[in-house]
Structure 1
Amino acid sequence: MEERKVLNHLFVNVFNKILRIEERVIREQSDLDLTVSEMHTIDAIGIGESMKMTDVADKLNITVGTLTTSINRLLSKGYVERNRGEEDRRVVRVHLTEKGKEAYDLHEAYHEEMISQILSELNEEEARILTGTLIKISEFFRVHYHAED
């Protein structure tokens, strides 16, 4: 297989594997009733102060309308709470409930374990090269496809 085809296959394959594994971990290693998309919404909200819906949508690179659908599901499942601003009722803020914070912590632990496992397979030089390469790839997508982190 030529190099371009191999790279394309690897990018698609690795991306899909990470998502499938993450979905399986959410389903099997916890009793969370969440999709990967919902988990990423929880991750974007974070465990700090409440966030404006527009800021969460920007962080996820989705529209506020799309986020509203996800937030409504997370509200019904008890993972988030939504409040309107007292000074400006148009501003909608969201924050995680205790259940949401537990889901956030489980998700963080999954990612930490994934990175630890990957790094355990690499020597110091390989880890440095992988990090540098992924930074370049991330920058490429940011510049050429306006994909913000």
Structure 2
Amino acid sequence: MENRDTARRILGLMKQVGGKLQRKVRVEFPDSGLTFAQLSVLACLKRHGPMRMSDLSARMGLTNSTTSVMVDRLVKSGLVSRTHGEYDRRVVFVALSESSENLARDIESRIEELMLELFGKASTEDLHQVIQGLEKLSSILDED
């Protein structure tokens, strides 16, 4: 019974934290018309450069189908391009479009500033505990 309650508490906290982060980021980009996840894709492509769709999915922690739907919307908006591999047409590469380079740079910079501001309110010890907890959670989720 205790494990079930603990699991519910962890899931609830994850949703709560995720929702709060999304709201804070949306305040930073009110006119973009982009979701938190779409902004995250643009920031990821800016940080890591063009990549295979499967690699983008892995970096984002999403399924290929979820990432594909998100990328479809960004392609329609002209913010990313999607190309097929030269030797294997099944491989799909995703990259920022020329028009979105500046937007992606701004997104990455502003999100980093926001995180620095938010985490600047916490003590070093608290931040280390958060990091340890998140690393442990990530490790648990990796176990099959």
Instruction: Please give the range of the TM-score, normalised by the shorter of the 2 chains.
Output: 0.7 to 0.9
Aligned position for 1:52: 52
Decide whether the 8 Å contact of 1:42 with 1:96 is kept in 2.
yes
**Would you say 1:17 and 2:20 are equivalent positions?**
yes
User: Cα gap change, 1:9/1:99 in structure 2, threshold over 3 Å: closer, same or farther?
Assistant: same
Decide whether the 8 Å contact of 2:46 with 2:105 is kept in 1.
no
Alignment partners' CA distance in 1, 2:13 and 2:47 = 33
SS in 1 for 2:42: helix
Question: How many equivalent residue pairs?
Answer: 139
**Would you say 1:98 and 2:101 are equivalent positions?**
no
User: Cα gap change, 1:123/1:98 in structure 2, threshold over 3 Å: closer, same or farther?
Assistant: same
Task: Summarize the alignment of residues 71-86 of structure 1 with structure 2, pairs less than 5 Å apart.
Answer: 71-86=71-86
How far the C-alpha of 1:22 sits from its partner, in A, is 1.5
Alignment partners' CA distance in 2, 1:71 and 1:122 = 35
TM-score (norm 1): 0.71
How far the C-alpha of 1:7 sits from its partner, in A, is 6.6
User: Cα gap change, 1:99/1:84 in structure 2, threshold over 3 Å: closer, same or farther?
Assistant: same
State the AA in 2 paired with 1:18: L
User: Cα gap change, 1:126/1:66 in structure 2, threshold over 3 Å: closer, same or farther?
Assistant: closer
| Structure 2: gaps of 5 or more residues | 1-5
TM-score (norm 2): 0.73
What is the root-mean-square deviation in Å for CA atoms of aligned residues? Answer: 2.8
| Structure 1: gaps of 5 or more residues | none
Aligned position for 2:3: none
Aligned position for 1:65: 65
